[in-house]
Amino acid sequence: MFKNIIFDVDGVLVDCDQCYLSFLKNTYEDFKDITDEDLPTLFPISPDNGAIKLPPNFSEDFKKSPYYFYRPLFEDTMTVLTSLKKKGFKLFTLSAARDPQKKLKWIEKTFTGLFDAFEFSPSGQPKNGALKDLLEKHSLNKEETIFIEDRFQNIRAGINVGLRTVRMQPKHSLPLPNELSHIKSLKNLTEFEKYVEELIAHDSLRLANFRATCAKSL
């Protein structure tokens, strides 16, 4: 039975495309007239990531700008998190950050009371080690834990650690490569909550059938 959910932040809870768009339009004269649809052309999506990522020079400017703290949430983020919390799930974030303390201030302010813990992984590195550390630190059973991510390298990390791993597919993104085609891919958190409910219903039914079989054998 699933009891714990680990969320990536950027691209899962936060609409990174809109965040980047606001930053670019208001920071660089050359980009003042760009639209959301221009982003994949300006910043081609790497097959290693599967989603838009700012190049290093833009990324550094972004982290120094006020738009680093302008991170628009997807429209269903707070509704779904609140619902999952009320249902008794333990919720965690695992976010990549070069400056965890800086990002933590925004996360704590935005998600007050919803998460059991906020954890971080080194920026630009797969989350294998950070996931293992999170499971150990909070005494989580990986068989009871779901991990939701948007980037390919971290989806692979979740699988390698042994977690039930789900992909949040951003608007501007690549389809899952063949090796990951078995992974559930969802367009929003509302779909994710329904998927979690389906998993729990399936597990409950399997447990009930097992108990019924055991009872007949007595």
pLDDT tens digits, residue range 25-35?
999 999 999 99
Q: Which long-range contacts (CB under 8 A, 24 or more apart) does 181-188 make?
A: 183/155, 183/159, 188/74, 188/76
- Kindly state the average pLDDT of the residues 91-105: 91
- Kindly state the average pLDDT of the residues 81-86: 97
Contacts of residue 25, Cβ cutoff 8 Å, sequence gap at least 6: 31, 32, 33, 34
What pLDDT sits at residue 69? 84
Residues of the chain by 3-state class (helix, strand, coil), percent to 5: 50, 15, 35
Rounded CA separation 151/173 (Å): 9
pLDDT tens digits, residue range 6-59?
999 999 999 999 999 999 999 999 999 999 999 999 999 998 889 999 998 999
CA separation, residue 190 to residues 75, 85, 167, 205 (Å): 10, 14, 13, 23
Domain ranges for the chain, please list them.
4-14+71-215
Q: What is the CATH number of domain 4-14+71-215?
A: 3.40.50.1000
For the cut 70, the answer to whether the pLDDT of residue 217 exceeds it is no
- Kindly state the average pLDDT of the residues 64-83: 94
What pLDDT sits at residue 13? 97
The three-point CA angle 82-85-91 to 5° equals: 110
Task: Give the residue, 112 or 206, on which the prediction is more confident.
Answer: 112
For the cut 60, the answer to whether the pLDDT of residue 97 exceeds it is yes
DSSP state at residue 7: E
- Kindly state the average pLDDT of the residues 68-78: 93
pLDDT tens digits, residue range 99-142?
888 889 999 999 999 999 999 998 888 999 999 999 999 999 99
What are residue 49's phi and psi, to 5 degrees? -105, -45
For the cut 60, the answer to whether the pLDDT of residue 91 exceeds it is yes
